[in-house]
Structure 1
Amino acid sequence: YTTAEVQARNEGYADYFTCSFTNDYLFGEWYAFSVPYMRIANNSSSVFNYKNWNNINFNNDYNLPSHRNGMIWSGACWDLRNALGQTIADKIIFGGLINISGTYDFESAMYGIISADIVEYSGTHIATINTIFNNRCILNPSAPIGLSISGSVGQHPVVSWTRNNELDVSGYEVYRSLNGYTYQLVQSINKPFITTYTDLASTIGVPGDPTVCYKIKAVDKYGNRSNLSSAACTYDGGLGKQNEPKTELSFKLDEAYPNPFNPSAKLSFQIPENASIKLEIYNSIGQKVADLTDGIYEPGSYNFNFNGSKIAGGIYYARFTAISSSNGKVFVKTNKLVLIK
């Protein structure tokens, strides 16, 4: 997040609740004597969206950038009010504000609203929330699922995945990793209906050959990208035998998959050297709810499963702490998880 984004979100909340309370989507017309109004909650999603951040011109004499950018957020909230009615919208928007009070970006704040809807209405309105915030370019596409690799030994591997169901997804990006090294972009696909990729630089090998893995990102028409998908892997009989430059392993915590999830999600991390590792789960108020691991690990990649069947739905955080055994340096990474019930 950025400070400017937090300020805009806070301005958007203030505008929305003022307009909702008065049942008047025009904000500040009593003050802005030389213009019809200062800001408007019932604004156009084609103009007031995250793609146009810092490029919104609206009564500049009476608006700071945080006010104009805040109309993206107030507009999305007003769209919710139009779709769900004032009572429901006010309740989940205010609940979302409580859930994520602090320095969080627009997308995190949207997940706060989803969390409130889960608590108040058992998640009945999640699809509507996703659609509305996606129209404002606030929600990134979901990571593609269903990755698989087909082909026989000696053939080029064909990677396939399931087409995303978001209407604004415009294409995909294919990433490749050899033997656990950093994933590199190898292909951009500009059609949403193309969900296969044939890797002409590789051939399928046999056990004992290097491992080649693929992950996919979805890209929408606004340029927003999803997280990397889960991996599909095979043995490489060609690419791995070339002398390509390799990027060293690093300390890394991958995004949980799936996310949002119910009831369980996979958490993966990699380390380049011996290290003391902790992987912990915290709730939205900072209370620890689970210890997934605490011990010394050798270099490599590791997977753990977090089962949320016995805890309430909402926002949680996976905290990964690695302390190098060689020099004592500390690496800390925290990722957000959304448990839907």
Structure 2
Amino acid sequence: MTAACTGSGVLALANNDSLYGWGYNGDGALGNGSTGVATNTVPTTVKLPSGVTVKALTAGRDHVLAIGSDNYYYAWGQGTQGQLGDDSLKSSPVPVKVYGLLQTPPAVPTLTSPANNAVDQATKVTLTWSNAAGLAGYQCQVSTDPTFTTSLIANDSTLTVQADTLTGLGFSTKYYWRVRSYDNGVLGQFSAVDSFTTVMVAPGATVLVSPANNAVNQPAVDTLKCSSATGAAQYHWQVSTNPSFSSFVVNDSTTDTMNVVTGLTASSKYYWQVQAVNPGGASNFAGPDSFTVMALPVTPMIVAPVNGATFQRADTLTLMWHRVSYASGYGVQVSDTVSFSRFIVNDSTADTMLAVTKLNNLQKYYWRVLAYNAGGANAYTSTDSFTTRIAVPTSPGLVFPKLSTMGIPRAVTFQWRPATRAEEYKIQITTNSQAYTSGDSLGYFKNALFDTTVSDTSAQLAVALEPNTIYYWHVGAIDTAGMSGFSTTWEFKTGTGLDAVNEPSGIPETFALLQNYPNLFNPSTAIGYQLSVVSQVSLKIYDILGREVATLVNERQSAGYHSLNFNASRLTSGVYFYRLQAGTFTAVRKMLLMK
């Protein structure tokens, strides 16, 4: 009880725990220490002992009984009949302690939820505590002030259960709370003070950044991006194949503003949306936007070597296949087992050919190719096979110019006999008979002046030799297994004329297309040809599939010896053909670009 009345006086307990009295003060019933003033028309303070406040009180006709915060009973007013219980028959205008009577207060509650210093609590929270059963009630105080002297959010003393639900709390605010119990009009001590902090305000909305809405040709592993949202702790991503999002490809959260989505299906359209989230709530979804994954390329077709091919090169073998639309690259696998349980090659390239080196001789290999792009990879081709050759060719025999001959034309045509199993021939020319490469078993010239590869048994250089100069030359034969040792080396000495017949006019008697030099080349090579009459000349370059890749000459030219330089820096490695047409004359030669 927080108020009581004597016969003609009133006493009341204020919020600041002070006790006030007013009205008739007969026998000191107002407890203000005065007996001379019979009536007080304004409240006066009851003079309790220092440090003692009143927890509960009741009153008779001219006396008052109260329970102090120290749990002792106090009485004041008329005491002539022992009403004050202080072992006397005297009245008292101030509270006196009732003799030997001590009130046992209710137990102090233990706060249970939320835990002390809890964070991210909802703005509607239920406070709970534990205590002995059977008490009359509880007082719960909540404040933003840890001393509870100001800013009381709740001060409820009508609670009969061990819980109090608060609503409408502020966002990102720290609150302090305590509880005390009461029973039989006696207030217990307040519990220890706990605190909790409410959640932050719900985040602002994000914006979808990339891919752009309705984007096409997206990769199968796509990175979705959104903008940062104010106050966001996480971003909730949803990706679906239908705009209603009745099912999900992705339904997860990240702390970042991007999400790498894997396992997307080629040629499929996807819808996506994002919302910002924090403990205070979630924003509206941004989107949905859509994007479509790139279509897969078709499976390529193998060109060379053909399936079941034999006598293939073991030193360097070029695998080739057709280019297919929408492919950004090709995966190539070579194995010595048909199940591809182990790999000789497991590589990728943007080109339509791949040079494979250091294969074993007389070995069967299996290979296959797939095409891929950002949308994924298509199936491998069916498995093809090839078998390498075991033996290198025999060494060729030289024919012309003969050993130790003099006056050889500077535009001489070198000739040699065919070598068994040879597919190509390497010719080297030098002016230094001691110019062999140290430790080379095949006998290469070191720093050869001319070093080229041709497919027939003769070669004419695109550039004339120096006059009156001794030269040394030899030829090696090449097949799929590698190269033979070079032939014996012959020497000869040039004369001053370009060819065997002295032609002062410098006009050749016949049309001819010379072998390019050097061959192999990277990226430039010289191509020479001769015209016996004025002609409309066309000189073009073709790839192995017969597609024209360059036009070097397309004009009318005078009779004579012609030479030009071809730069293949924009082409990929491989076999190319160059074709000369001059009037009715047509000739084709092969050259090999290796980068």
Question: Which band: TM-score by shorter chain?
Answer: 0.3 to 0.5
Q: TM-score w.r.t. structure 2 length?
A: 0.24
Q: Of Structure 1 and Structure 2, which has the larger fraction of its residues in strand?
A: 2
Q: Greater RCO between the two (CA within 8 Å, min separation 6)? A: 1
Find the structure with the greater CA-based Rg.
Answer: 2
Normalising by structure 1, we get a TM-score of 0.39
